[in-house]
């Protein structure tokens, strides 16, 4: 058995997640970093076990940080514009 140290945030997430949540994560997730991600998500979002199962089934670990967008790149003039300038540019265009 290999013992590893956890960052304080990961240790806190582990302590705040219930046994049934841990058992679900351990049985369904194989990678260590992915397990820590789901434990942290449970602690932050207060998932029930069924919600945790749906989250794992949706594969949130692989989709984290990837927001859907229909922009390939933001239009250059609007990149540093204020919200009022953006609205006015569409109204008066």
pLDDT digits (tens, 9 = 90+) for 19-50: 999 999 999 999 988 988 898 899 888 999 99
**pTM (predicted TM-score):** 0.62
In a domain, 54, yes or no: yes
Domain housing 56: 1-65
39 in Cβ contact with 13 (< 8 Å): yes
pLDDT digits (tens, 9 = 90+) for 63-73: 776 555 555 55
d(CA 49, CA 28): 12
| Both structure tokens of 80 | 């540093």
For the cut 80, the answer to whether the pLDDT of residue 77 exceeds it is no
pLDDT digits (tens, 9 = 90+) for 6-18: 788 778 888 888 8
Pick from 79, 68, 70, 72: nearest CA to 89? 79
In a domain, 93, yes or no: no
Looking at residues 46-56, what average pLDDT do you find? 92
pLDDT for 53 equals 94
In a domain, 34, yes or no: yes
Burial of 67 (0-12, 13-18, 19+ CB in 10 A): exposed
The domain tally of the chain equals 1
């Amino acid at each position: 058995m290999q013992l590893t140290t956890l960052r304080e945030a990961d240790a806190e997430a582990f302590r705040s997640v219930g046994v049934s949540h841990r058992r679900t994560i351990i049985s369904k997730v194989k990678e260590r970093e992915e397990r820590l991600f789901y434990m942290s998500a449970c602690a932050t979002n207060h998932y029930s076990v069924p919600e945790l199962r749906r989250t794992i089934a949706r594969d949130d670990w692989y989709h984290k940080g990837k927001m859907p967008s229909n922009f390939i790149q933001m239009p250059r003039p609007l990149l540093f514009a204020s919200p009022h300038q953006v609205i006015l540019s569409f109204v008066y265009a």
